[in-house]
Structure 1
């Protein structure tokens, strides 16, 4: 697979790009997309870059019935000296394969797909926005394509990769958001698919998100499904609490996603000698720290928002206003550092970024 040639068909009439200041998140797409197919006889085969457009699937295709699909997401940035950097794509592709394993989907060749990522981004590099706070979001995903109503893993799959120029994930931008602590609905349980990035994990959270939005909150903070007391993650991010000069984040226990930004935050904090602990933490502990004056900062970490300071936690009738709804110093430092590394403005001592122009030939 690694030496397989990618067939390229370029779009003749390029699409109109949106103004960078008007970018939302994931609403417009670049000129091209990457596709390859899988069958038990051929394995992954026929990789191609083709003009972005609709795909045709039989109404009986199994992904529509049983949601056997996985996806991931990462970003490319244009630096001031005109280089193209992708942030930690190897980790995202490794996580994509972990999701594949959980959903009984055949694994991809990570090295080959990384080269395909570079090729696609290089072809559509004019779509990388340069306005502050913008980037090119890369969305790879795999869907089951057997035409069957059998409740069994598919024998054929389609891998697709699309690109979307994006702005800020939250309408608030980099300003503290309000979060509703969810006590009724559950996202995942141990033994389930909470640690996989699969389509079926997300729509079940819409009802809780709808409830949160009605109360003026940007997102949901999920508690464990059994006891409804242990904090897990925010709907689109992992979550961190700075309490009495220590940073705490829930552990990877099979119910939450292994975030690449989460990993990066932990590595940065250790690099800065900031005490950081991956351990169980209850909503009651957070509330007690708030009452005692020890809850200094709360923030989310994820690819879409990078760092999102949280200014208020709403738990039942308890309203915890954090740091007077101001962005905390540690949240700001993490955001500035991550964005600085991603955009090439700061030194990358961890070798997190991958330059597109390097090793581009397939």
Structure 2
């Protein structure tokens, strides 16, 4: 009986891993990849511009893993449902230039008559395992039926909290064009999307159509959905129209690429940059909020929209700390700080629009002097 149970478990796991969300990319980097600025694939594995570890070792690996999995962090999740404003996307006037934050790193953008959807995760969890990495109460207010037809689906990289099969599968008949870094399109082709709808590029490649430029740009991160890493390229994205310039940072540690992007493409109207899920154990592939502020300055952005927060718990900080720290770090900066409720519209043509510190009404925010800003360790050894 014991052997039968083990065999059944193995068979169940085998068939479970054959579900579409566990599809592995089929990627053959072109020989010319090294000629593209820093988009190098060595032996089929993509590299960051500057070699950085995904994680740094400050203590015994198993001790660190145990602490991460089981050490409790007070207020890591909201104690009540997050407030939101559900903008009706189906009735928006196409002439309105607007950005809607859907929580974490998901955005709906309407720009010069075109509709964009960025890294949509409309599922209740950001994980292939059911009932893990569940969305905070009140944060997952949009469903696929709420999304209108999309001109461009933009995916920055293939991590579970940015590329969600149930979401894109439900939206497949609403999507006209898919834009991804190189290799990520492989998932869509295997999921049955038409290859004609997919544009993949290396860093500094550009898709041009309908008075819009969509630039695939560098980021300092990594890729992979199961055990294999960096088979697909990760990146950031810039949208440039005759009247607007928007930078979508995806996931990235702080690096020289922000200033290089600005030097090549000029200043931005809005920079959407990650501000959350940081940790001293992985300081080179996610930014501390103070680094996010510096990145926005490097991009010469007129406004900063912090992302990668307020929906999933993927690190050990309190849920509200990213918003509080970026607020403090932005006080002496020249850009406007945009802190909307989930679902609230950001008017891309209104440079006077203001936002409240809404999170302070929900959590016991500590005084500014008490917020710990941990030192980033040297890269040292990795695991």
TM range (shorter): under 0.3
* Larger relative strand fraction: 1
TM-score by length of 2: 0.25
